Each structure stands twice: as structure tokens, then as C-alpha cells.
């Protein structure tokens, strides 16, 4: 790998973060909006930070943090749908994407730990 920007999991998580920000533009619950925004931003940020740390152990640690943020985001999306704060169709697609990103992160973690 030459740079974290080439990782599909980074690209997808960054794209999801942008989608989250856009979908929250009309949300007036600023606490919820802030929490969701932070969780979504944490995923690609931790992938990038871990990659740039220069050690496999640190990289895996930050990938695990990104995976945790992905679960946090998925939880918040479920709650936002049930509370009527999010469009159910849009949020359901975002929930599905968090699941796929989480699986991709786990695959990368497994690969790094087995090499």
C-alpha cells in the first residue's frame, strides 16, 4: 500500500461521512447531529492515523478504534430512525454501509495480524 487514500475501506468510510453530514443539514437536534458527525468522521480519520503511525501494531489498534466508531455510528443511526430524526430509507442504507465497512475493517485487521 502506498497511501491510506488508496484503501477502499478508507474511501467508503470518507464517502459515508460526507453523506452523514449532508443528511443532517436539516437536523435541529444539535447534540444528536454533533454525535453522529463525530462518529462518522472518526472512522476514516482513525484509518488514516493508524496507517501513518508506521507500525503494524499501532495500525491494528487504530483500525480497531475505527471499527468501534463504526458500531457507534450504526447504533446512532438506528436510534435516529426510531426517534424520527432521520429519513428511514437513507439511514437504512447508511446502516448497511456501516456493516460493510465494519467487515472490511475486520478483514484488514485479520490480514495484518496474520502476516
Neighbours of 16 (CB within 10 A): 21
Whose cell is 485487521? That residue is: 109
Cα distances (Å, whole numbers) of residue 64 to 20, 24, 48, 69, 113: 21, 26, 12, 9, 12
pLDDT tens string, the chain, 115 residues long: the values are 469 999 999 999 999 999 999 999 988 999 999 999 999 999 999 999 999 998 999 999 999 999 999 999 999 999 999 999 999 999 999 999 999 999 999 999 999 999 8
Q: From CA 2, how far away is CA 67, in angstroms rounded?
A: 22
Residue 98 grid coordinates: 456501516
Domains detected in the chain: 4-114 (1.20.1440.60)
Q: From CA 74, how far away is CA 60, in angstroms rounded?
A: 21
Amino acid at each position: 500500500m502506498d497511501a491510506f487514500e488508496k484503501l477502499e475501506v478508507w474511501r467508503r468510510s470518507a464517502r459515508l461521512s460526507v453523506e452523514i453530514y449532508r443528511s443532517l443539514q436539516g437536523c435541529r437536534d444539535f447534540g444528536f447531529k454533533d454525535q453522529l458527525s463525530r462518529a462518522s468522521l472518526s472512522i476514516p480519520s482513525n484509518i488514516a492515523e493508524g496507517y501513518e503511525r508506521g507500525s503494524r501494531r499501532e495500525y491494528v489498534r487504530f483500525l480497531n478504534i475505527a471499527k468501534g466508531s463504526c458500531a457507534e455510528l450504526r447504533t446512532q443511526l438506528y436510534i435516529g430512525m426510531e426517534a424520527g430524526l432521520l429519513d428511514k430509507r437513507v439511514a437504512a442504507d447508511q446502516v448497511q454501509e456501516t456493516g460493510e465497512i465494519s467487515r472490511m475493517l475486520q478483514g484488514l485487521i485479520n490480514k495484518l495480524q496474520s502476516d
